[in-house]
Amino acid sequence: METALITGASTGIGKELARIIAEKGTNLVLVARSLEKLENLKIELEAKNKVSVFTIALDLSEANAGLEVYEQVVQLGLEVTYLINNAGVGLYGEFYATDWERENTMINLNITSLTQLTKLFLKGMMERNRGRIMNVASTAAFQPGPLMSVYFASKAYVLHFSEAIGYELRDTGITVTTLCPGPTISEFKDTASMGESRLFKQKGIPSSAAVAEYGYKSMMKGKSVAIHGWKNRLLASSTGFAPRRLVLAIADRIQGRSK
């Protein structure tokens, strides 16, 4: 039976992806910091589906956390067919005033851990000439982001990295999809301290379940870049034509502090 590994699986898009994939009859390795949330999700998924769910409670922002995950999966005797790097955090505020430790954690989680996990699990996929990788970026990947400068830059890395290796793998049985959600109903707003941002004040913000369903279908189709929502796709494409200063001003306007 196939196995999918999902990071950031205890909440939001990651949790909904776990539910979708379990319904397809695929075994799961779920990774997140909270053992309690992971175990509760494991109980739910195994009760509703004929699958085995393995949990790894780990802080992926720690040094070589990706290697620790890989070694635990090897010890379990599992071959990962689907790798979904969903774990990520953000931080809102002017760069001069934000906390370095939180930004360092963000870089380690959003960039370093994702890259290490991709490298480690891709080796097995190459040997089998089969596999799908989905790295979760954001519409933030398409432009600089005042008030979230490090977060936007980290997601730009995810997008460019994923597109590049996807091209390298074009003649193999392995695909790489970058999922780029816009604002989504999840815990992200609170963990990123975005309570003052206009970004989450707008109407029609999609649910994590809707974004997860779109991401899963895009991954299975082997789509390179998957931007959820027509407004987000329009905004992402427009940044390539607008003057850079205007792009910055628009980004600042969209997510600036609500009055």
Domain with residue 242: its CATH number is: 3.40.50.720
Give how far Cα 203 sits from Cα of 138, 184, 185, Å: 19, 11, 11
Task: Say how many domains are in the chain.
Answer: 1
Residues belonging to the active site? 151
How far is C-alpha 192 from the chain's CA centre? 15
Question: pLDDT tens digits, the chain, 259 residues: what are they?
Answer: 799 999 999 999 999 999 999 999 999 999 999 999 999 999 999 999 999 999 999 999 999 999 999 999 999 999 999 999 999 999 999 999 999 999 999 999 999 999 999 999 999 999 999 999 999 999 999 988 999 999 999 999 999 999 999 999 999 999 999 999 998 775 644 454 445 545 545 567 889 999 999 999 999 999 999 999 877 777 766 666 555 666 566 666 666 654 4
**Token pair for 8:** 């950031």
The whole domain housing 19 covers 3-255
> What's the pLDDT score for residue 186?
55
pLDDT, position 189: 46
CA distance linking residue 10 with residue 45, whole number of Å: 12
Checking 184-190 for CB contacts under 8 A at 24+ apart, the result is 184/12, 184/13, 184/208, 184/211, 186/11, 186/12, 186/13, 187/11, 187/12, 188/12, 188/90
Q: Which amino acid, 133?
A: I
Distance CA 203, CA 36 (A): 33
How far is Cα 10 from Cα 30, in angstroms, rounded to an integer? 8
